[in-house]
Structure 1
Amino acid sequence: MTLTESLLPKLSEWRPAGDGRHSWGGSFPTAGWTVQLTADKTDSLSCLVWELALARTGDTPADFTLRAWAEGVAQRVAGLLEPLKLIEVDEARGEALLRSAAPAKKGDRVAYYEVRLHALGRADVRRFSASRTESSREQIAFALTHEVVAKLVGDITG
């Protein structure tokens, strides 16, 4: 069973108690990853994601590079509102940055996804909103079905 197939039923069963932001975490030893999902709301089909964090628990494939991982993520991820584009690979810091290729525009604001890859073993997915005229940005929640979350996890973990 793939990570995507293992994750989907667990997300559908997740029912946090009470209002507010809640987190769910799962370990998938056969796939070699852990998944941490923080959401503002969740139901049987979807969630309002605040952050999705993945951590490798298994061995890194031989000859695997940060650039190859980042380029693969940019090519594979297809379930978000905007496709991802590789912005930067900083080999010295062991980080890669991907963002929405064309941010969504609403009035004088834009919204975009940001995926940060860390040292071949961690990935964080967030969404931000920013003014087109000011330099600040704020993290925002984004709605995804559980199926899209599971596919996104599979696309990032490759």
Structure 2
Amino acid sequence: MVVAADMRVMDRLRRLAGLILSLVFLAYFTGCSEEPASQTVSNDGTETQGESVIAGPEFASLLAVEAQAFLAKEPNTLIVDVRTEAEREQLRIPGSVAVPLNDILRGAAELPKDKPLLLVCAVGGRSYAAGLYLAQKKYPRIYNLRGGISAWQKAGLPLEYGKK
């Protein structure tokens, strides 16, 4: 009887450990927490709160409707989706290109410096990290989609679904 009780305890511990590992794994791979509220970072590292415009190099977070208006005004903007290919297969912004965050952070991605970049992920955290990195690399016009593709979808803006 003691052995059966010990086995039940061990089984529960294994399940608990599996659950904890699953949560850690999920948090790591979907760890796209939203970026700090509405701030602009210039390439010299200074930060300002609010929706200010900086002359010269800039890094700003835009709400979905602001991003849509920006894209209409700046049609040569490259929409860079830093999510995984599996995430992009579910949904993506039309015209966006896949450049995984890991490729950007390793310096393996060749992004143009002569056009604005709108960075996108699930809710804005990974794209914000990519923006900080690209700002350090002196990319002149970087914009982060605040709230990510989730905010884009909630705003009812155009999306593509399925494999491309």
Q: What's the TM-score once normalised by structure 1's chain length? A: 0.22
Q: Which one has more relative contact order, counting CA pairs under 8 Å at least 6 apart? A: 2
Q: What's the TM-score once normalised by structure 2's chain length? A: 0.21
Structure with greater helix percent: 2
